[in-house]
Structure 1
Amino acid sequence: MKDVLVIGGGNAALCAALMAREAGASVLLLEGSPRQWRGGNSQHTRNLRCMHEAPQDVLVDAYPEEEYWQDLLKVTGGITNERLARMTIRASSRCRGWMRRHGVHFQPPLSGALHVARTNAFFMGGGKALVNAYFRSAEALGVEIRYDTQVVGIERDGDRFIAAVTAAGERIEARTCVLAAGGFESNRDWLREAWGRNERGEWPSDNFLIRGTRFNQGVLLRHMIDAGADAIGDPTQAHMVAIDARAPLYDGGICTRIDCVSLGVVVNRDGERFYDEGEDFWPKRYAIWGRLVAQQPGQIGYSIIDQKAIGRFMPPVFPGTSANTLGELARKLGLPEATFVQTVEAFNAACRPGSFDHTVLDDCATAGIAPAKTHWARPLDTPPYIGYALRPGVTFTYLGLRVNENAQVYFDGRPSPNLFVAGEMMAGNVLGKGYTAGVGMAIGTAFGRIAGVRAAHACGFEHPDFDMEQSNAIAS
């Protein structure tokens, strides 16, 4: 019987396994996917949002705790646990050295990437390189890893973990356990249950695409909630991005995102605008657009730009639809031509002169039109025009398990002494809604490391480089 059982194979699970093993505990990690698909949604990531008080290697200037907190507060609308959020923020300033020791490399943001050189550290080779580095390190340290092993249930004695039960009926005992098996974004039935029908009689979730892994079915999350674990979060809230409507159903990843929204206008299938495309910097607001599109008829939108936008955003993997006139573009996209042309011409007429600068909140805005475009508003007047059809792309869901600063699972308001949770299964404690680039990896890294250390501690092992008293002080 192992000291620590880790269920999951993404960033949070690997951080937990590595920390527990470093502390001296024996560790078994169960990954539900085949080896070639290992890593969960972490394989599709590319950066980590990091607090820092001064320039650090790949990070420029400073990104202090209070600014990070205010950014998180803004996107969540206050639906966040401040104590746990600040733990995540402070932990993000201290984890990169440890990550490097386990083979993770960082690089400055590429030209045309998100404007986050000050706030986010980018992984060289992306998330796939990160999870591969962690798996190599885990194997070298003696972590036992099993693939194609889906856990469907947990045996408990009261609030104490006893064993995990796999889909094959195998019973696996351990002294402690860390749950890090992801959310339910790939479970089409659960998405339907959560979203229901809208006022038009549509099932919105039927038109959602899944940016990440197909293996996050939420089986273990559902089991834990049904078994009485304290849950937190709204099942309709998720990291949901507007992505190319031609993206695959699963595993499209980062390259399917459409990053030119703030450089033009977005219309629905009726040819009408429905939200301020220039509300804030794209890294802070890109994750609201999936939900906005989900609320439109048919769950589809269209991002429209002209030639002035070319070269100012990361081009998606699929080329857009191009036309020399607005009417031609409408016909190619299947939009009502007269309404679409009127929408764009009205927007053009509402644009006021200003100094365009997409790296700052500039003074290029509209006047006398609703919805307004508050920054980066320039007339679409330089053909050929380009349009991208958009669908909601779900990255991960926020419904999860309640935790405390020790990453403990709760049952009826009592923390379990030997059952912990990290990653997407508890991210809703910090992310009640909204998203800002790189914070998911920050949550997974912070609570994965905490869960691993606490699980090992529950077995009598102390991590040599993790100060438990400092962790408690940070939490308070």
Structure 2
Amino acid sequence: MFDVVVIGGGNAALCAALMARETGASVLLLEAAPRAWRGGNSQHTRNLRCMHDAPQDVLVEAYPEEEYWQDLLRVTGGLTDEALARLVIQASSHCRDWMRRHGVHFQPSLSGALHTARTNAFFMGGGKALVNAYYRSAERLGVQIRYDAAVDALELEDGRFVAVRLGEERIPARACVLAAGGFESNREWLREAWGQNDNGEWPADNFLIRGTRFNQGTLLKFMIDAGADTVGEPSQSHCVAIDARAPLYDGGICTRVDCVSLGIVLNRHAERFYDEGEDFWPKRYAIWGRLVARQPGQIGYSIIDAKAIGRFMPPVFPGVKADTLPELARRLGLDEAAFVRTVADYNAACRVGRFNHTVLDDCHTTGLTPAKTHWARPLDTPPFYGYALRPGITFTYLGLKVDAHAAVHFGGRPSPNLFVAGEMMAGNVLGQGYLAGIGMSIGTAFGRIAGTHAAQAARQGTHHEAA
């Protein structure tokens, strides 16, 4: 019998498996995906948001705990558990040495990744390199790994974990860590969560999935039906505006369109619908998927001119390009007169001061609804570019309620040997909104906590068996 079984194959699962193994436990990791697609959404990540009080290796200046907390408080609108959030923030300040010991390398902030040199540590080779490093380390340490191992159910007895079920196969263990992701790849569950809008549309039908197709939420649904305490609202998620031409699954980071704050965003009626200059992009980029999801047809259009080129990370697909605004409208399939009128109204409302995209500058609009509060400059320099946008779901926030030991709760009581990490519990920290890199911070912190406490629970279980 294994001491610890870890269900999942991404960052949180791997951190849990490594910590449990380092503590001396025998560990089995069950990854639903085939080996070639292992790693869940973590394979598409780039960085980890880190608290630090002074310059550290790849991080410049300082990013103290209170600033990190205030940033999180702002984007979540207060929908966060402060104690658990601060646990994540504090853990982010001292996890990188451990990560390095397991083969993860870091590099300075990427050129064009705005405002992250101070707050985010980037993985050399991205998330795929991180995942591969962790798998190599796990194999070297003796963690047993099975791929194509989608868990259907658990055996539970009064809140205690007994065994894993894979079809007809039963795998008992002394403790278990759940780290199998959310339900973002389950279209029916997304439809149920989002419902129909006033136009009779099912918004979820037009969502693209930025990450893995294997996050079906099977285990999450099982745990909810088994009476586990939950947290989060089903329609809340890390939802980003991505290129409408992106693939249905696994488009990853390169499909994100990062020029929103440098221009304007229109719906299919060629109307603006939100302040594009509200805040710095790493703090606000993840609101745009949800904003687009609320527009007719779940589509938007990011419009920029030549002045924006070179100021944002270019997406993998080039934008639609035109020498005149009417021509751009036609190429995007938007009403030409409405498009030109919207741009003209915006241009006339711009009050250009000292443009500086690295600060909250004084370039704004007046007399325009919605206003653009920063970085407002007329769209007047050809060529012009347009990017069609769709909502891109990264991961869902409905999850299992936890405590500081990462224990799953049933009726307010923590399980003695069942723990959860990563996207399956991220809603404890992220009730809504997102901060760049915090998903990896949550997965790393709670993966390590869950693995440590699972190993401890397994030792206690061994003692009970011996007695």
TM-score, L = length of structure 2: 0.98
Corresponding position of 2:111? 111
Deviations 1:266-296 (A, max 9, x none): 0000000000000000000000000000000
Deviations 1:199-240 (A, max 9, x none): 110000000000000000000000000011011100000000
Corresponding position of 1:363? 362
C-alpha displacement of 1:84: 0.2
Amino acid in structure 2 at the alignment position of 1:245? A
Following superposition of structure 1 onto structure 2, how do residues 1-16 of structure 1 map, counting pairs within 5 Å?
Answer: 1-16=1-16
Secondary structure of 1:198's partner? coil
Corresponding position of 2:247? 248
C-alpha displacement of 1:405: 0.3
Mapped to 2, the partners of 1:325 and 1:331 lie a distance apart of: 10
Secondary structure of 1:460's partner? helix
Corresponding position of 2:353? 354
Mapped to 2, the partners of 1:137 and 1:278 lie a distance apart of: 43
Corresponding position of 2:464? none
Percent identity of equivalent pairs: 79
Amino acid in structure 2 at the alignment position of 1:155? E
Mapped to 2, the partners of 1:342 and 1:165 lie a distance apart of: 60
Following superposition of structure 1 onto structure 2, how do residues 320-359 of structure 1 map, counting pairs within 5 Å?
Answer: 320-359=319-358
Contact 2:114-2:358 within 8 A present in 1 as well: no
Corresponding position of 2:210? 211
Mapped to 1, the partners of 2:119 and 2:258 lie a distance apart of: 18
Check if 1:233 corresponds to 2:241.
no
C-alpha displacement of 1:442: 0.2
Displaced runs of 4+ in structure 1, greater than 2 A?
none
Corresponding position of 2:443? 444
Deviations 1:83-104 (A, max 9, x none): 0000000000010000000000
Deviations 1:27-82 (A, max 9, x none): 00000000000000000000000000000000000000000000000000000000
Mapped to 1, the partners of 2:458 and 2:258 lie a distance apart of: 47
Structure 1 residue runs of 5 or longer lacking an equivalent are: 462-476
Mapped to 2, the partners of 1:142 and 1:318 lie a distance apart of: 42
Amino acid in structure 2 at the alignment position of 1:147? Y
Corresponding position of 1:294? 293
Following superposition of structure 1 onto structure 2, how do residues 49-198 of structure 1 map, counting pairs within 5 Å?
Answer: 49-166=49-166, 168-198=167-197
C-alpha displacement of 1:459: 2.1
Corresponding position of 1:23? 23
Deviations 1:309-347 (A, max 9, x none): 000000000011011111111111010111110000000
C-alpha displacement of 1:460: 2.5
Corresponding position of 2:465? none
Corresponding position of 1:414? 413
TM-score, L = length of structure 1: 0.96
Mapped to 2, the partners of 1:295 and 1:280 lie a distance apart of: 20
Check if 1:278 corresponds to 2:268.
no
Corresponding position of 1:379? 378
Mapped to 1, the partners of 2:98 and 2:375 lie a distance apart of: 40
Amino acid in structure 2 at the alignment position of 1:187? N
Corresponding position of 1:315? 314
Mapped to 1, the partners of 2:431 and 2:262 lie a distance apart of: 28
Corresponding position of 1:223? 222
Mapped to 2, the partners of 1:46 and 1:173 lie a distance apart of: 35
Aligned residues: 460
Amino acid in structure 1 at the alignment position of 2:457? A
Amino acid in structure 2 at the alignment position of 1:19? M
Secondary structure of 2:152's partner? strand
Amino acid in structure 2 at the alignment position of 1:293? V
Mapped to 1, the partners of 2:29 and 2:59 lie a distance apart of: 33
Mapped to 2, the partners of 1:69 and 1:384 lie a distance apart of: 41
Secondary structure of 1:221's partner? helix
Mapped to 1, the partners of 2:50 and 2:283 lie a distance apart of: 14
Mapped to 1, the partners of 2:334 and 2:433 lie a distance apart of: 29
C-alpha displacement of 1:382: 0.2
C-alpha displacement of 1:157: 1.1
C-alpha displacement of 1:115: 1.9
Mapped to 2, the partners of 1:181 and 1:455 lie a distance apart of: 16
Contact 2:243-2:255 within 8 A present in 1 as well: yes
Amino acid in structure 2 at the alignment position of 1:332? R
Corresponding position of 2:41? 41
Mapped to 1, the partners of 2:280 and 2:223 lie a distance apart of: 38
Deviations 1:103-147 (A, max 9, x none): 000001121123210000000000000000000000000000000
C-alpha displacement of 1:458: 1.0
Mapped to 2, the partners of 1:202 and 1:337 lie a distance apart of: 25
C-alpha displacement of 1:353: 2.3
Deviations 1:361-408 (A, max 9, x none): 000000110000000000000011000000000000000000000000
Amino acid in structure 1 at the alignment position of 2:86? R
Corresponding position of 1:201? 200
Secondary structure of 2:190's partner? helix
Secondary structure of 1:151's partner? coil
Structure 2 residue runs of 5 or longer lacking an equivalent are: 461-467
Secondary structure of 1:163's partner? strand
Mapped to 2, the partners of 1:76 and 1:376 lie a distance apart of: 24
Corresponding position of 1:473? none
Mapped to 1, the partners of 2:227 and 2:143 lie a distance apart of: 30
Contact 2:328-2:384 within 8 A present in 1 as well: yes
RMSD: 0.6
Secondary structure of 1:183's partner? coil
Mapped to 2, the partners of 1:66 and 1:274 lie a distance apart of: 32
Amino acid in structure 2 at the alignment position of 1:272? E
Deviations 1:410-439 (A, max 9, x none): 011110000000000000000000001000
